[in-house]
A and B are shown apart, each in its own frame.
Chain A
Amino acid sequence: MDDRPLFGPFARKGSYSRVQVLDHLFADDRFTALYQETSILPEVDELMLYRRYLQKDDRVLLHGNFSPHLFNLLCAEGYDLHLVEPELNRITGISEKYLNRVYGLSNELIDVMGSGVFDKIVLPGTTIARYSRGELLLFFRNIRHLLTMNGRLLVNIHNADYLKRHVQPIASRRVQDCTLFYGQKVDRDRLIFNTYLKSASDEKVGYVLEHLYETDTLFEFAKLSRYRGRTLYAGKSISILEFDKIG
């Protein structure tokens, strides 16, 4: 219990025997929806971003944390999108006709599609934030084989300084019969998201650990993994980077 990254009132709630502690926040749909909503940084219009940087004749792999609405819309516009999403409740809302483009794990994807078939891989900021430094470096190396010879990574990264300066104080939502609380805390280079819900039938806390990265770190990892990169957009809360696979 002590190792769990719960803070303040969330830690107190988590210590009560009646309160269930979810190590995997996405096991609860209500937590998932709240987390997805609070993770959105409105600085960049995602639809415009993908329309601008993806070509319709590109085969594109989206690696996790992608809006079902956006997925449906872009597929309907003719983009050849494929999605790896291990969380079942995060694909709710994807149209049935596009479900054959969704994979639970990268292994499944390779079984169906094979290696070296994607012109672009999109890594959303929330996917990057889930990996520690070592994991991220390995991830960069491991996804190389999914890309074609001239394949590219499109990475958006939530700016660490901005997130540290805009930590969400404890806030709440009432959704139908349920009250949800959430808040963030910075712990060195990690952002801890805590959430709690209470309804007539259950009481739970959950958390997500996000690793904060500067763009320099990603350029360094890219170089070590044999990519060559550039910044496409540098904003206050978000940066968008593009990396070419080398050799």
Chain B
Amino acid sequence: MIGLTVLSESEGWLHQLDPTDALTTFCEQHRFSMDRYDYDQHTFLDLLDYMDFQEFEHYLFVLRGTGERTLRLVAYLQQRMLHVQFHLINERGDVLFGDPYFLNGTIPLDGMAVHTQPIELQDALMSLFTGVYPDTASREPQPLRHVYVETTDLLDSITPTLFDQMTINSLLYIDQSTRHDLPVIELMSRTPVLLAFSDTLPFSVRDRLATFERSELDAAMQQWHETGVVLNPEQRIGILDYATIAGMPASHRLFIWSDGIYADYGKRILLSIPSDLNVCQLRERQLDDWEALLPIPQLALYPILFQLASAFQGTSQFVTPYSVFELPRTEGKLGPLTMIGIQNKEGCFAFELLTNQLFETDEVFLAILEADQKERFDVLPKRLGTDYEAAIQTYKELIYHG
């Protein structure tokens, strides 16, 4: 059986492209199995298992655009799996790896949107240092995403299987300026991980994060509950080790220092000493984290509020179901929270959580938003007076019809 997949690459991140009808027909006519694979959720080992499971004899990667990491991935697969023949061609049909002799005709790639928005390195580094990931769905075992290594010489002491257990779209961050010394070259030749160094970005993400002790974070969350206020006077973009300190159940990261392997950057949870590295045990130990400070939906929301607070001058008060604004706090409605409100000296705003869009609004809108979040429409006729019906109509149109 011959598998065929189309992907693009941006700054080393791999993106699976959706097949068009023309491509699906082409695959059916040529008896190729059109294949899609999730590079965000699966590890290098998973991909090897998958190729074995599918019993492919040949597997053809078609790369739209340019990219060096795809070539490294294909070479890695070929090195690890001799019973499958891997091939890589670009969109012009140039063979970059292997010998796809079975390919007759041009593969129809028109209409396949190339992924133009790269997963920014900054987002990956934010996730590494805060522990907050956009996808918080729980699954066991949890995939290992980003790994921190203090210095390149530590790479030699790490069993290579650790890197095979990182998701394909994840980052190995080395806390030194860019270098290609022997440990790095050896690692690159073994596993096609994506590497970043301390000078890969022109600024340090870590330096832009706030530092909290667990008790301080607990107090800040109580303040949010009781007043709606989330303080961020230094306008930091996040909280260092937030997931660990807050007790979030997801754990996708590892920190490898010369004195041990930790679950967090702040070295609060020691998992292993470097010479005693068993990756499976280490990942199990990582799950023995702290009790969650708040219910998970609230823990997931707080970093967003903290980041939004940094975008405004002065103190921001947030309208959420879980905090006091004009009405007492609640546990929220059934279903996901889609919008929050913000009030500060710059004005009133609403933030759409699904689209990350911020728009300016007014006090009346925030009053209705809060009543909606807390299922307290009964308070609105008195609160809004004669404007009640028109204001409700405007709110509904905005919320339900964009």
Contacts and interface: CB of A to CB of B under 8 A. Distances in A.
A45 B42 contact: no
A232 B36 CA distance: 37
Given A169-B38, A171-B41, A233 B137 contact: no
B36 A169 contact: yes
A170 interface: yes
A172 B46 contact: yes
A173 B297 CA distance: 26
Given A169-B38, A240-B334, A9 B54 contact: yes
Contacts of B49: 172, 174, 179, 181
Contacts of A44: 334-335
Contacts of B38: 169, 171
A13 B54 CA distance: 9
Given A9-B55, A235-B335, A37 B46 contact: no
Query: In which size bucket is the chain B interface?
Result: 20 to 34
Contacts of A49: 334
Contact of A233 (B42, B139, B141, B335): B335
B53 A9 contact: yes
B41 A48 contact: no
A174 B141 contact: yes
A12 B52 CA distance: 13
B331 interface: yes
B46 A196 contact: no
A132 B140 CA distance: 31
Interface in A63-80: none
A13 B53 CA distance: 9
B332 interface: yes
Which of A45, A52, A169 has its CB near the most chain B CB atoms (within 10 A)?
A: A45
B388 interface: no
B212 interface: no
8 contacts: A42-B137, A48-B334, A169-B36, A170-B50, A172-B46, A175-B140, A181-B53, A240-B334
Interface of B: 36-38, 41-42, 45-46, 49-50, 53-55, 137, 139-141, 280, 295, 297, 331-332, 334-336
- 5 closest Cβ pairs, A-B complex: A233-B334, A235-B335, A172-B46, A179-B49, A181-B53
